[in-house]
Chain A
Amino acid sequence: MNYTLKIWRQKNAADSGSFVSYKVENIDGETSFLEMMDVLNQQLVTRGEEPVAYDHDCREGVCGMCSMYINGRAHGPNELTTTCQLYMRHFKNGSTIIIEPWRAKPFPVIKDLMVDRSAFDRIQQAGAYISMNAGSAPDANNIMISKEAADAAFEAAECIGCGACVAACKNSSASLFVSAKLAQFALLPQGQVERYQRTLNMVQAMDAEGFGSCSNTSACEAECPKGISVKHIAMMNRDYLKATMCSEKVMS
Chain B
Amino acid sequence: MKLDAKIPEGPLAEKWTNYRSYTHLVNPANRRKVDIIIIGTGLAGASAAATLGEAGYNVKVFCFQDSPRRAHSIAAQGGINASKNYQNDSDSNYRLFYDTVKGGDYRGREANTYRLAQISGAIIDQCVAQGVPFAREYGGTLANRSFGGAQVSRTFYASGATGQQLLLGCYSELNRQIRKGNVKSYTRHEMLDIVVIDGKARGVIIRDLVSGEISRHSAHAIVLATGGYGNVFYLSTNAMASNATAAWRAYKKGAFFANPCYTQIHPTCIPVSGEYQSKLTLMSESLRNDGRIWVPKNKEDVKKDPRQIPEEDRDYYLERRYPAFGNLVPRDVASRAAKERCDAGYGVGPTGFAVYLDFKDAIIRLGEDLIRDRYGNLFEMYERITGDNPYNYPMRIYPASHYTMGGLWVDYELGTTIPGLYALGEANFSDHGANRLGASSLMQCLADGYFVLPATISNYLSEEFRHPAIPIDNPAFDQAEKEVKERIEKLMAIKGSQSVDELHKKLGRIVWNYIGLSRNEEKLTKALQLIDELKKEFWTDVKIPGSSKGMNIELEKAQRVADFLELAALMAKDALNRKESCGAHFREESQTEDGEAKRDDEHFRYVAAWEYAGEDKEPILNKEPLEFENIELKTRNYK
Query: A interface vs B, CB < 8 Å?
Result: 11-12, 28, 30-32, 34-36, 38-39, 42, 44-46, 48-51, 53, 55-65, 80-81, 85, 87, 89, 110-111, 114, 116-118, 120-121, 124-126, 128-141, 143-147, 150-151, 153-154, 157-158, 160-161, 184-185, 188, 190-191
Contacts and interface: CB of A to CB of B under 8 A. Distances in A.
Given A57-B65, A58-B75, A58-B239, A28 B276 contact: yes
A42 B161 CA distance: 32
**Candidate in B47, B126, B497 with the most chain A CB atoms within 10 angstroms:** B126
Contacts of A61: 381, 384
Contact of B136 (A28, A42, A87, A145): A145
B545 A45 contact: yes
A49 B545 contact: yes
Contacts of B554: 45, 51
Given A44-B545, A135-B451, A146-B140, A120 B67 contact: yes
Contact of B130 (A46, A53, A124, A132): A132
A131 B239 CA distance: 31
B281 interface: yes
B102 interface: no
A121 B131 contact: no
B601 to A, nearest CB: 38
Nearest to A12: B550
A60 B75 contact: yes
B2 interface: no
A54 B54 CA distance: 35
Contacts of B497: 46
A48 to B, nearest CB: 5
13 contacts: A51-B554, A64-B69, A81-B384, A85-B381, A124-B171, A134-B173, A134-B454, A140-B128, A141-B86, A153-B133, A154-B135, A158-B164, A161-B67
A55 B66 contact: yes
B171 A35 contact: no
A111 B47 CA distance: 31
A117 to B, nearest CB: 6
A191 B131 contact: yes
B131 A184 contact: yes
B535 interface: no
Contact of A50 (B276, B278, B384, B546): B546
Given A55-B66, A65-B65, A110-B551, A125 B178 contact: yes
Contact of A190 (B74, B131, B454, B545): B131
**Candidate in A56, A147, A185 with the most chain B CB atoms within 10 angstroms:** A147
B322 to A, nearest CB: 29
B384 A150 contact: no
Interface string B144-167: 000000000000001101001100
B637 interface: no
A41 B609 CA distance: 39
Contacts of A138: 125, 129
A59 B552 CA distance: 21
B382 to A, nearest CB: 11
B175 A45 contact: no
**Candidate in A30, A32, A61, A124 with the most chain B CB atoms within 10 angstroms:** A124
Contacts of B300: none
A185 B168 CA distance: 12
A237 to B, nearest CB: 21
A48 B498 CA distance: 10
A51 B128 contact: no
Contacts of B65: 57, 63, 65
Contact of B240 (A59, A151, A191): A59
Contacts of B57: none
Contacts of A135: 122, 126, 450-451
**Candidate in B137, B179, B282 with the most chain A CB atoms within 10 angstroms:** B179
Contacts of B124: 140
Nearest to B135: A150
Contacts of A48: 543, 545
B51 interface: yes
B551 A111 contact: yes
A31 B597 CA distance: 37
B210 A110 contact: yes
B24 interface: no
Contacts of B387: 87, 89
A35 B239 contact: no
A243 B380 CA distance: 39
A62 B75 contact: yes
B274 interface: yes
Contacts of A39: 276
B134 interface: yes
B165 A157 contact: yes
